Chain A
Amino acid sequence: AQTVTQSQPEMSVQEAETVTLSCTYDTSESNYYLFWYKQPPSRQMILVIRQEAYKQQNATENRFSVNFQKAAKSFSLKISDSQLGDTAMYFCAFMNRDDKIIFGKGTRLHILP
């Protein structure tokens, strides 16, 4: 069965710093999708970034980028120039071919002023 592991339950960084959230997953499939979702204190989950496993190029969305290492089954999220509004719970997610999306337990990120 596929699993998603986020080894950092909680992190704190100063505003404007760069922070990296780690995620590893386990699967025997070769084609899949990976996502990072953000859940701010208001609870609404929103998509941050996504990566197709067949694409070697790392996805980037403004200040958010990923380091996708397929062989190592690693999918980390880098947030550059962090802002107070980035404070949230971040979930790494994996989608297999039957479209069930599996989430990790999350990393609570605090951006400090």
Chain B
Amino acid sequence: EAGVTQSPTHLIKTRGQQATLRCSPISGHTSVYWYQQALGLGLQFLLWYDEGEERNRGNFPPRFSGRQFPNYSSELNVNALELEDSALYLCASSFLYPVSGANVLTFGAGSRLTVL
């Protein structure tokens, strides 16, 4: 079974440009989460999608947006890139209502965004 896949692995952009990151969840998972992992800041929650809808959003400006497609894959868009957006962006997927009662996340390997 394929895990959570993210693309691209690395992305280099300049200030003011837009970046698009993609995530394919594990087959059967309907929820997709996005996290930003900047150096020294741990994982900061960005967005949570399920069944095509945004379920929750972290404390990030509106230039961070995304969407989830009918096949449950997801896209994260970052507009008007700033230097501090340089980070590893992690995608994770899960069931919305897991049998176990605990929503265990399965993570992808991440997309490293560098803003110059």
Contact = CB atoms under 8 A, between A and B. Distances in A.
Contacts of B45: 100-103
11 contacts: A33-B103, A44-B107, A45-B92, A45-B105, A100-B45, A100-B48, A100-B56, A100-B58, A102-B45, A103-B43, A105-B40
B12 interface: no
A101 B105 contact: yes
B88 interface: yes
Interface stretch (A14-22, A46-54, A69-77, A80-88): A46-54
A95 B103 contact: yes
A33 B88 contact: no
A101 B108 CA distance: 16
A35 interface: yes
A29 interface: no
A8 B88 CA distance: 22
A43 B42 contact: no
Interface in B14-33: 31, 33
Interface of A: 6, 33, 35, 37, 42-47, 50, 52, 91, 95, 98-106
A63 B2 CA distance: 27
A42 B101 CA distance: 29
Most buried by B among A46, A101, A106: A101
Given A91-B42, A105-B41, A106-B42, A99 B107 contact: no
B55 interface: yes
A99 B56 contact: yes
Nearest to A34: B102
Interface in B83-111: 88, 90, 92, 96, 101-110
A35 B90 CA distance: 17
Contacts of A35: 102, 104
Nearest to A54: B101
B72 interface: no
Nearest to A45: B107
A47 B105 contact: yes
Contact of A52 (B35, B56, B58, B102): B102
